Amino acid sequence: MGRYPLCGRLFCGCGQRFVPGCSTASGREYVSLCGCRLWPLDAAAIEQRVYAYATCGASASGFSASPALVAAVLGQFDERIEVGGTLDDIRFMPPT
């Protein structure tokens, strides 16, 4: 999990799981192979949003938590995360 703490919990709205990816242009990213999304998710951006949710509203803007703290919090986060067309379209689903 290390560099991709949301691996296994991040899904497209269609149900397809996102997988870790990396590009020279944007670095770490999460990629869905379903074809619904034309662009991968920037890993840092989605992790910041989930971290803000997991810490009960800590601001995602001006993000200053250490990478170790973020990884620890996200490593314990067990909800399913569904991402729609944009980063503003995120749904958190309780574990089943």
* Residue-wise pLDDT tens digits, 34-79: 888 878 999 989 998 898 888 886 555 555 677 777 778 888 888 8
In a domain, 4, yes or no: no
* pLDDT at position 2 over 70: no
Task: Look at the chain and report how many structural domains it folds into.
Answer: 1
In a domain, 45, yes or no: yes
Whole-angstrom distance, CA of residue 9 vs CA of residue 1: 11
Maximum distance among all Cα pairs of the chain, rounded to whole angstroms: 36
In a domain, 70, yes or no: yes
In a domain, 44, yes or no: yes
* pLDDT at position 31 over 60: yes
In a domain, 5, yes or no: no
In a domain, 73, yes or no: yes
Model confidence at 88, in pLDDT bands (50, 70, 90)? confident
* Residues listed for the chain: 96
Sequence-ordered list of residues with C-beta below 8 angstroms from that of 20, at least 6 positions apart, any chain: 3, 4, 7, 28, 29, 30, 31, 43
Q: Which residue segment(s) compose the domain that 80 sits in?
A: 10-93
In a domain, 80, yes or no: yes
